[in-house]
Amino acid sequence: MNRLQQLFQKQQKDLLSIYYTAGYPNLGDTLKIAETLEQNGANFLEIGFPYSDPVADGPVIQASSKQALDGGMTLHLLFEQLKDLRQKVTIPILLMGYVNVVLQYGVEEFCKKCREVGVDGCIIPDLPMYEYEELYQPVFEKYELSNIFLVTPQTSEERIRKIDALSNAFIYLVSSSATTGSNLALSTQSSDYFKRIADMELKNPFMIGFGISDKATYDSANKYASGAIIGSAFVKNLKQDDLEGSIKEFMVQFSV
């Protein structure tokens, strides 16, 4: 069982996960941000490896990805930066990025590296489910990685059941049909959708992401889910000249 699965076995309420882009704001900040986030209460992390054409992302993640790439971030470099990850960080870590970058690195090699540095799973939004089943699943299992699937308000019940069967940690509920970082307040429509998913009694817990930006949206997501994922709002708040300070300042709202 990987760290992520262990976490969900222990706790299925009020979890807070933070996404950030590797190599942003400075190329060398990746590990420092992870450490600081753990110290300030994050339960697990998603580290984004940047891609030139991130279609599922809004302006904030696009800009951070571009800055990271311009600064020289690559997947090779990210694994290098994460070499000492497990001496410094104990919470579960997911890598998040687009399929072409993984393909060029090599699927087997990518998974092997994830395992080596202590990554627990991946979110690859443009990896098709059929391809995961045929080509990725055996490799993911070999290296004890969890694959995290997304579900949206338009995903059919049949497909959600299938995603549930293929998942072994949690399911990522996209709060509304939007790219990341949209400012849509969680509406009655979204609470109907969260309730509908909760009533399906899936075997996997779920986390809500996209549009979660502060304590209020985090709390409302927590009413229905095991927790929430914050990305754009966190990335937007990072300050190049006061990295630790800006992280603490952002995280303090979530400490009780």
Partner 1 sequence: MNYFVDERGYYGDFGGAYIPEMLYPNVEELRQQYQRIIDDEQFKKEFKALLKDYVGRPSPLYLAKRLSEKYGANIFLKREDLNHTGAHKINNTIGQILLAEKLGKKRIIAETGAGQHGVATATVCALRGLECVVYMGEVDIKRQAPNVARMKMLGAKVVAATSGSKTLKDATNEAMRDWINNPVDTHYIIGSVVGPHPYPDMVAQFQSIISFETKKQLKEQTGNELPDYVLACVGGGSNAMGMFYHFIDDQSVRLIAVEAAGRGVDSGFSAATTTLGKEGVLHGSRSILMQTEDGQVVEPHSVSAGLDYPGIGPQHAHLFKTGRGKYVSITDDESLNAGLLLTQYEGIIPAIESAHALAYLEKMEFKGGENVVVCLSGRGDKDMETYMKYFNL
Bridge-based pairing of strands 171-174 and 206-209 is: parallel
Angle at 183 between CA 181 and CA 188, to 5 degrees: 120
- Phi first, then psi, for residue 145 (nearest 5°) are -105, 140
Stretch that binds partner 1, among 30-38, 82-90, 100-108, 243-251 (CB under 8 A): 100-108
Residue 102 or 230 with smaller CB distance to partner 1: 102
Separation between Cα atoms, residue 197 and residue 74, nearest integer Å: 37
Residue 6 or 52 with smaller CB distance to partner 1: 52
- In what helix (H) or strand (E) does residue 110 lie, and over which residues does it extend? helix 107-117
Instruction: Spell out, one character per residue from 57 to 76, where the chain touches partner 1: x when CB under 8 A holds, - when not.
Output: -xx--x---x--x----xxx
What are the catalytic residues?
46, 57
Under rule CB under 8 A, how many of the chain's residues touch partner 1? Answer: 41
The number of residues in the chain equals: 256
Angle at 148 between CA 142 and CA 153, to 5 degrees: 155
Contacts (Cβ under 8 Å, ≥6 apart) of 162: 129
Instruction: Spell out, one character per residue from 140 to 169, where the chain touches partner 1: x when CB under 8 A holds, - when not.
Output: ---------xxxx-xxx--x----------
- Coil/strand/helix, residue 222: helix
Q: Please give the DSSP secondary-structure letter assigned to residue 145.
A: P
Residue 176 or 191 with smaller CB distance to partner 1: 176
Residue 51 or 254 with smaller CB distance to partner 1: 51
Q: Please give the DSSP secondary-structure letter assigned to residue 126.
A: T
- Contact flag: residue 204 with partner 1 (CB under 8 A): no
- Coil/strand/helix, residue 75: helix
Residue 69 or 117 with smaller CB distance to partner 1: 69
Shortest gap between Cβ of 216 and partner 1 (angstroms)?
22
Shortest gap between Cβ of 114 and partner 1 (angstroms)?
16
Shortest gap between Cβ of 172 and partner 1 (angstroms)?
9
Stretch that binds partner 1, among 3-11, 176-184, 190-198, 241-249 (CB under 8 A): 176-184
Q: Give the torsion sign (CA, 35, 37, 43, 45).
A: negative
Q: Please give the DSSP secondary-structure letter assigned to residue 136.
A: I
Instruction: Spell out, one character per residue from 110 to 139, where the chain touches partner 1: x when CB under 8 A holds, - when not.
Output: ---------------xxxx-xx--------
Catalog residues that contact partner 1 under the rule CB under 8 A: 51-56, 58-59, 62, 66, 69, 74-76, 98-105, 125-128, 130-131, 149-152, 154-156, 159, 174, 177-179, 182
